[in-house]
Homo-oligomer: A and B are copies of this chain.
Amino acid sequence: MNKVNIGNNVFIPMLVVIVGANVEGKANFMAVGWITRVNAQPPMLAIGINKAHYTPLGIRENRTFSVNFPGADMVEKTDYCGIVSGRRTDKSKIFKVFYGETKTAPMIEECPLCMECKVVETVDLPSNTLFIGEIVRAYTDKLFLTDGKPDFKKINPLLFTMPDNSYWAMGEYIAKAWYVGKKFKQKNE
């Protein structure tokens, strides 16, 4: 074993989204890198947010939040949402805001893909809260669809790595999933 021990506080590549919530009736947005799908049926997402942040107040207030996927061309505004806190700065006018079925999850018109979620479970961890939300509805623009489904090569989402604190685009196509491994399967049977 030639591997070196690099401690335990190692960050993994992240997808960058803008989470929206109404705090005391006003739309607020924050950049979030800790997100994953967590349940197949019904479809659920989880987002991990530091307890000190302002946005969780609105998520707890309305039991809803939005997840908005900025295109790489929106990197300035996305990063801004991660730099300034809604506690001190009004972020309700940065984007064109729209609402869907939940009525209380502010979504971003400029983002190629938006989802409104209702909170189904809250997991209290030492420094962060994990909000598990059921996806109520997702919205996109027709130009980001291929065969009626969102096409992430067109959406051009932002990725993020730490501690180099860098944003990245999604890169080249590598292979087809649930397919390319069949070659290895055949070799080993």
Name A residues whose Cβ lies closer than 8 Å to a Cβ of B. Answer: 1-15, 17, 33-46, 48, 50, 67, 69, 72, 75-84, 94, 98, 100, 109, 113-115, 121, 123, 125-128, 130, 132, 134-142, 145-146, 148-152, 157-185, 188
Closest 3 pairs (CB-CB, A-B) = A79-B181, A171-B171, A80-B181
Interchain nearest-CB distance for A70 vs B (Å)? 11
Residue in A72, A142, A170 with the greatest tally of chain B CB atoms within 10 Å: A170
Provide the bound-state CA to CA distance between A149 and B165, in Å: 12
Of the candidates B38, B163, B177, the one whose C-beta lies within 8 Å of that of A48 is B38
A125/B80 contact (C-beta < 8 A), A75-B180, A167-B174, A173-B168 known: no
Contact B178 A40 (CB under 8 A): no
Provide the bound-state CA to CA distance between A36 and B137, in Å: 22
Of the candidates B8, B138, B157, the one whose C-beta lies within 8 Å of that of A13 is B157
Contact A11 B37 (CB under 8 A): yes
Interchain nearest-CB distance for A152 vs B (Å)? 5
Provide the bound-state CA to CA distance between A85 and B44, in Å: 24
Contact B166 A159 (CB under 8 A): no
Contact A127 B179 (CB under 8 A): no
Provide the bound-state CA to CA distance between A134 and B127, in Å: 13
